[in-house]
Structure 1
């Protein structure tokens, strides 16, 4: 035994002596030349070592190199891919003899890495195989031992001492886009006593003149390496954004994470300006604070964020989201419940009405308006094939300008290029509605199939909030259906078919009182409070059909005391023209509700026609003279019942016929 111990002691002394003497037999310059040659053979690049190379084998195996550079191929804007101010690597010898790797020191000083894509699309980090070079043998890996129970193999233990990156710099140059990004002041320190102990990393970097703090903690790195699960914390913090993740991380074939994600942005606008270098071009005053917190699960091709609380400015919402990229196209599924969606902070300020404006209508036969037409370019519906979507949105209310929408719900489904958006609930000014829009982009062009119904809309508050128009009151009902398809916008419009109905019931037109005008012409036109005047109607509306893009209406009707309005005509959408005839008629009846639409009276037809951007309006005098107006005049002159004295008072004697109206207009149209 004594001799054995002596022999082992001699062996140890010889090993230590050999390690001490090794650098003397293998000069640093020899190692330097061999390293340069090997890099050239493997990568085809030039390795430049302009500084001193120091090699030591005791008390630790170490290499110190300064002023090192790895070149770029010809044609790139920068000379080097990598440049190091200094590299210091030291490994403890004794742990290596026992199969354990302990890094005593690994320090990179002033590393500068420049990644570049040239204008031809070549990347400088892709190494071409040198001509005549043999395929390199795969790099040997540490010997792995099977884990107990047949699980993932084990790896030798590793301990890290002084592991640092000091004053690093990373540059990315995109030649085709003409852009350049730089991250500098990179400082990172890593600590790991063993693979069974926590791995920690802490550092910082500077991007766009702002410091970003980074921190990482992995509780048991060995568990991750061997395919197990352990806890991890990751945080990124800057003046404009804070992001953290706390949860589990799993390695091996089932690699993934599962934990809590927390994102906080003090100002979305400031974040966008910092990231892009220019202000966010979006109207309004919104896009301030953003906060997202939810349960994040990611692994393989799937990412899910559930139980998520979202806050953007004053908007509060809850939702679930999931993405799977493992199919033919990405599949997105989710739901979002919003308490109140106030869009006003994101809209531009309203422009004041121009003085003397009348709605921008072109005068009859008048000036030119902006010319517009349908496009003959092929419809690009490729975006409908970019992903499959199943998404549900519900809101407690929506505010847009002064318009206030009540509780509403929308479901959007998109699969194989076909989208269906179902408006399953809409509350709008005491009315309720439903709608559906279908878009088919599975074939060249696009198909449209849409329908919408709304009942019980209170017209006056809606029009007041929507357009500051308070002249129409009543209960509005709408029913519209339309469908068509085409490869171009013009073909789609020309193929549209459908039908619909619009009506306003038990309402009034404010600001004018036709019955009062007939009773007393003078005060009706020159006196009295006009804001208090109104003309009641029982019905106002009509139905329409659409055939090959031509909208036809033959039953426009308004029933009001002393007034009937009828209309019919077409709106030709493919050529963007209108041919319409409106017939306002003064009648001898105070009935609105239940009154006859065809009551006899004086009619002055108005023709509306022309292109959409330059409509003309003119009275159809010939029809007035030849039609019912002539009969009404003849009846009045002969004292017949009907309009009576509407066109003038008859005889003033006792035998004069009396007007059938409970009024005496005197001489509304002169004697």
Structure 2
């Protein structure tokens, strides 16, 4: 027995020695490259690609380790790079005993400093598919790998939205061949650091159960369900949940090569299933948290946005809530199905935007990328009051009730809203045109609007009435300086019918330019109840104090005074056509402040016509009795001319011409008004004979416009008018001289020709015929009758001579 044991021991020692010698020989052969060509050829037959390696190494033991350095695997034809993979170091640890039973059990595979390119060639072939060589030995018991570790490597994805996946460390392992595969590691996706963990079960029916999470800075993505062997596998389904904060959303958008607004936190939940040409999505919910969109539209903030879709073929519903300024905003929209969104270039959309009771309905096509900037929608707005829409646009709009508007709306998500073929109907207006609204950096309006009718009285909405003061006549109104500061405009406006102050005006038009608080309307023209007028208006709120300018004159034959009197309810006055001209300017934020600094010229000129009696002025009846003691004849008195020219400086106006002349005689004189306190000083010199009464005594007026008085001593009245800083400038004017009675010359005014030229501010106009030579010894009031008789007698005598 001892002998047998000795023989067995010797045999074992021999086997061990031979095995060690053989292993050492194999190690030497591998390290010296003796088997390199055979190994490369075997690998090439197995995967169908050219394989090269730099050096092999082997470590002996019950778990021998084989190492390979600087190995390469060739890419497929047509690849972007010559090598599919470059591996700096590959170590394989084997289980020794299973080899004796024909099994290859790999404990670990360690890969370091590897670079792998994943791509398809022009024919669509993937370079990660192997086996075309057909030379691999299919016998043996297969290969089992217990764990794979990868570190300091990267995967390149040419031509894909994600260009590179870096692997800091990645471990894949399973305890037994039938156990789930567990993955854990740290990677980077185009620089975005992520922690990865996943469990992949055993594949059945083309899919394997999976549970995976990706965690990054402000980012979490989770998957659960069954992972497909390929997207065409018949039975797989994944539930996807993702959360990303605002910063992570921007990073992910940059990874995808997209630009998105600065949105709040995003949450996504969906189920992905097989589908053609792309997998289907169902039970989709995408929500966006609080987002400040002020960088795109001033003052706009989104509190929540949610997108839902029940299935891949069901419509997508969008809801949102937000605010702009004081306005609460709501949005509901319906998009096409996800299938259409994934395959069609343009998509129909219907959306409803609400702001209180205001409702805007939009419909039209949008591009697949949901960029609404170039899209054009059919838009319809209904609102009980346009003022509700003002806060949405960031401006104050007037109260316009019962509004319905229709337009072709473009530039919805840009800073310029375009309203083409705009049509507006409301209780107070009907209007058409084209309008562009610039929302940032300053609100601005551009375009042209033509109204069939506008009721400014209704649009005023019963706004604040002028401040009343029993001692003042001129109204005290605030000028809209504040309204000019927040908006700019370049508009061409017109109105076929315009109602203001209870009076209907026609064919109004103007070109409006508003920039940085300075409003210019040039030209502006309108047909008043008495005829057309036109000119230029300026309100400059960009300076302090604000400045106002008005240049206005009548057109054609002038204004029909009788028509104006009827329209404005003036009980009596003048009949005929009067030419008016104004060129005035002043400073201040109210009408009285502007009048207190008024400078410029104003004139009224009339040829022919009649004076029909007392006027609406408070002093009218008293003044008429002073000039015409027995009153005005029933048919009034005929006029040859009426001329008034006022020149103003620093709020004090004085007459350059004041003349009324006719068969009754003439009234001329001079006038001065202080617009600051409405003090008045006038001295009229009549030479009038009416109804047998001749008046030639001067008539003086003093007091104020609210309380005028006749018979005031002229110097005292004048002192009240010019008792301020303008006294020195006016003291030597002809008006002042005449009011003081310091000259014995004929009062200013002259005959009709000179006075009319002054009243027209130097413009040329019609002149009356020369006054006939008076018939001696015939009273003035019957000069016309006597002249007609004499002409008749002359005609008879002339006939006899024939």
Q: TM-score, normalised by structure 2?
A: 0.47
The Cα shift of 1:588 comes to: 2.2
> CA contact under 8 A between 1:497 and 1:545: conserved in structure 2?
yes
The Cα shift of 1:202 comes to: 1.0
Q: Which structure 2 residue ranges, 5 or more long, are not aligned?
A: 1-130, 147-171, 187-191, 202-207, 259-276, 616-620, 716-739, 742-776, 783-802
Aligned to 2:362: 244
| Separation (CA, whole Å) in 2 of partners of 1:91 and 1:487 | 72
Task: State which of 620, 624, 630 in structure 1 corresponds to 2:712.
Answer: 620
| Separation (CA, whole Å) in 2 of partners of 1:143 and 1:481 | 62
| Separation (CA, whole Å) in 1 of partners of 2:537 and 2:611 | 33
Aligned to 2:603: 501
Residue 465 of structure 1: SS of its match in structure 2? helix
Residue 396 of structure 1: SS of its match in structure 2? strand
Distance 1:10 1:323, change over 3 A: farther
Aligned to 1:543: 645
> CA contact under 8 A between 1:391 and 1:413: conserved in structure 2?
yes
> CA contact under 8 A between 1:191 and 1:199: conserved in structure 2?
yes
Aligned to 1:471: 572
Distance 1:96 1:570, change over 3 A: farther
| Separation (CA, whole Å) in 2 of partners of 1:264 and 1:459 | 44
| Separation (CA, whole Å) in 2 of partners of 1:63 and 1:434 | 78
| Separation (CA, whole Å) in 1 of partners of 2:415 and 2:605 | 52
| Separation (CA, whole Å) in 1 of partners of 2:527 and 2:368 | 47
Distance 1:320 1:164, change over 3 A: same
> CA contact under 8 A between 1:482 and 1:496: conserved in structure 2?
yes
Q: Alpha-carbon deviations, 1:469-509, whole Å to 9, x = none?
A: 23234233210113467999999878754222124551433
Aligned to 1:578: 679
Distance 1:98 1:464, change over 3 A: same
Aligned to 1:454: 554
Aligned to 1:481: 583
> CA contact under 8 A between 1:105 and 1:161: conserved in structure 2?
no
Q: Alpha-carbon deviations, 1:90-145, whole Å to 9, x = none?
A: 5762277799xx9844579xx9x9xxxxxxxxxx9789xxxxxxxx998994699x
Residue 401 of structure 2: SS of its match in structure 1? coil
The Cα shift of 1:618 comes to: 4.1
> CA contact under 8 A between 1:478 and 1:502: conserved in structure 2?
yes
Distance 1:409 1:138, change over 3 A: closer
Aligned to 2:434: 320
Aligned to 1:94: 228
| Separation (CA, whole Å) in 2 of partners of 1:548 and 1:369 | 19
Q: Which structure 1 residue ranges, 5 or more long, are not aligned?
A: 35-40, 43-53, 72-81, 114-123, 128-135, 145-155, 353-358, 363-367, 592-598, 628-657, 664-671
| Separation (CA, whole Å) in 1 of partners of 2:519 and 2:533 | 20
Aligned to 1:256: 373
1:343 aligns with 2:343: no
| Separation (CA, whole Å) in 2 of partners of 1:545 and 1:426 | 25
Aligned to 1:153: none
Aligned to 1:291: 405
| Separation (CA, whole Å) in 1 of partners of 2:635 and 2:532 | 27
| Separation (CA, whole Å) in 2 of partners of 1:88 and 1:23 | 17
Structure with the greater relative contact order (CA < 8 A, sep ≥ 6): 1 or 2? Answer: 1
| Separation (CA, whole Å) in 2 of partners of 1:351 and 1:439 | 20
Distance 1:20 1:209, change over 3 A: farther
Aligned to 2:308: 189
Q: Alpha-carbon deviations, 1:343-363, whole Å to 9, x = none?
A: 3433456999xxxxxx9754x
The Cα shift of 1:244 comes to: 0.8
Aligned to 1:79: none
The Cα shift of 1:461 comes to: 3.5
Aligned to 2:75: none
The Cα shift of 1:554 comes to: 4.0
Distance 1:17 1:321, change over 3 A: farther
Q: Alpha-carbon deviations, 1:400-440, whole Å to 9, x = none?
A: 24311111211013457764312343211241111112456
Task: State which of 268, 291, 294 in structure 1 corresponds to 2:385.
Answer: 268
| Separation (CA, whole Å) in 1 of partners of 2:464 and 2:595 | 32
| Separation (CA, whole Å) in 1 of partners of 2:255 and 2:179 | 28
Task: State which of 480, 490, 498 in structure 2 corresponds to 1:398.
Answer: 498
| Separation (CA, whole Å) in 2 of partners of 1:337 and 1:5 | 88
Residue 603 of structure 1: SS of its match in structure 2? coil
Distance 1:319 1:249, change over 3 A: farther
Aligned to 2:281: 160
The Cα shift of 1:183 comes to: 6.7
Task: State which of 605, 623, 640 in structure 1 corresponds to 2:699.
Answer: 605
The Cα shift of 1:458 comes to: 2.5
| Separation (CA, whole Å) in 1 of partners of 2:137 and 2:567 | 100
| Separation (CA, whole Å) in 1 of partners of 2:284 and 2:413 | 30
Residue 346 of structure 1: SS of its match in structure 2? helix
Bigger Rg, which one: 2
Q: How does 1:404-419 map to 2 (within 5 A)?
A: 404-414=504-514, 419=519
Answer with 9-18 or 331-340: which moved more.
9-18
> CA contact under 8 A between 1:106 and 1:163: conserved in structure 2?
no
Aligned to 2:317: 202
Tell me the matched-pair count.
508
The Cα shift of 1:313 comes to: 3.4
> CA contact under 8 A between 1:565 and 1:582: conserved in structure 2?
no
| Separation (CA, whole Å) in 1 of partners of 2:178 and 2:637 | 110
Distance 1:230 1:361, change over 3 A: same
Tell me how large the CA RMSD over aligned residues is.
Answer: 6.7
| Separation (CA, whole Å) in 2 of partners of 1:64 and 1:249 | 33
| Separation (CA, whole Å) in 1 of partners of 2:469 and 2:483 | 37
> CA contact under 8 A between 2:525 and 2:534: conserved in structure 1?
yes
Q: TM-score, normalised by structure 1?
A: 0.55
